[in-house]
Amino acid sequence: MNRIILGMSGGVDSAVAASELIRQGYEVEAVFMKNWEDDSRFCTSEKDYKDALQVCDTLDIALHSVNFSKEYWERVFKHFLNEYKNGRTPNPDILCNTEIKFKEFLNYAFDLGAKKIATGHYARLRNYNCDFQLLKGLDESKDQSYFLYGLDQKQISNTIFPIGNLLKTDLRKKAKDLGFTNFNKKDSVGICFIGERNIKEFLKQYIPENPGHIITSKGEKIGQHEGLMYYTLGQRKGLGIGGGHSKSNGAWYVIDKDLINNELVVAQGHSNAALYHKFLKASGLHWISGKPPNKEFIMAKIRYRSKDAPCQIKNFDESTISVEFQESCYGIAPGQSIVFYDDEVCLGGAIIESYSN
Partner 1 sequence: MYYFDNSATTPIHPRVSELMNDINIRIYGNPSSTYKIGKNARSIMENARIQIAKAISAEPNQILFTSGGTESNNQVLWSMIQQKRKHIVSSTIEHPAITRVLKFLITYGLNHNLADVNEDGIISIDSINKNLNNDTILISLMLANNEIGTIQPLEQVISIAHNQKIMVHTDAVQCLGKIKLNVSKLKVDFLSLSAHKFYGPKGIGVLYARHPEKLYPLILGGGQENNLRAGTENVSLIAGMGLAAEISTELLNEKNTMVEKIEQQFKSGLKTFFPKAQFNGCQSKKLPGIVNVSFPGNKSNILMAKLERVGIAVSNGSACGSGDIKPSPVLSSIGLNKETNLSTLRFSFGIFNTKEQVDFLLSNLKSILVCS
Q: With binding defined as CB under 8 A, does residue 46 bind partner 1?
A: yes
The answer to whether 125 and 164 are in contact (CB under 8 A) is yes
- The answer to whether 96 is a known catalytic residue is yes
Q: How many residues bind partner 1 (CB under 8 A)?
A: 21
Pick one of 2, 24, 39, 65: the residue that binds partner 1 (CB under 8 A).
Answer: 65
Closer residue to partner 1, CB minimum distance, 40 or 248: 40
Q: With binding defined as CB under 8 A, does residue 85 bind partner 1?
A: no
Give min distance, CB of 163 to partner 1, in A. 23
CA neighbor of 126 nearest in space, from 116, 115, 137, 117: 137
Of residues 250-289, those binding partner 1 (CB under 8 A): none
How do strand 309-316 and strand 297-301 relate by DSSP bridges? antiparallel
> Which segment (65-73, 273-281, 303-311, 314-322) binds partner 1 by CB under 8 A?
65-73
Q: With binding defined as CB under 8 A, does residue 111 bind partner 1?
A: yes
Give min distance, CB of 241 to partner 1, in A. 43
> Which segment (40-48, 71-79, 251-259, 282-290) binds partner 1 by CB under 8 A?
40-48
Give min distance, CB of 32 to partner 1, in A. 5
Closer residue to partner 1, CB minimum distance, 62 or 259: 62
> Which segment (49-57, 198-206, 301-309, 335-343) binds partner 1 by CB under 8 A?
49-57
Q: Which long-range contacts (CB under 8 A, 24 or more apart) does 156-159 make?
A: 156/125, 156/132, 156/288, 157/132, 158/106, 158/116, 158/117, 159/102, 159/106, 159/116, 159/117, 159/118, 159/119, 159/125
Helix (H) or strand (E) holding 21: helix 12-23
Q: Which amino acid is at 134?
A: L
Q: With binding defined as CB under 8 A, does residue 2 bind partner 1?
A: no
Residue 220 makes CB contacts below 8 A (sequence gap 6+) with none
- The answer to whether 192 is a known catalytic residue is yes
Q: Report angle CA 65, 70, 72 to the nearest 5 degrees.
A: 90
Pick one of 63, 95, 233, 282: the residue that binds partner 1 (CB under 8 A).
Answer: 63
Q: Which amino acid is at 78?
A: K
Q: With binding defined as CB under 8 A, does residue 115 bind partner 1?
A: no
Give min distance, CB of 10 to partner 1, in A. 9
Pick one of 9, 14, 45, 158: the residue that binds partner 1 (CB under 8 A).
Answer: 45
Q: Return the beta strands (E) in the chain as ranges.
A: 3-7, 27-34, 63-67, 116-118, 123-128, 131-136, 159-160, 212-216, 221-225, 252-258, 263-268, 276-287, 297-301, 309-316, 321-330, 337-342, 345-356
Can you give the binding site for partner 1, defined by CB under 8 A?
29, 32, 34, 38, 45-46, 48-50, 52-53, 62-67, 108, 111-113
Question: Which residues are part of the catalytic machinery?
Answer: 96, 192
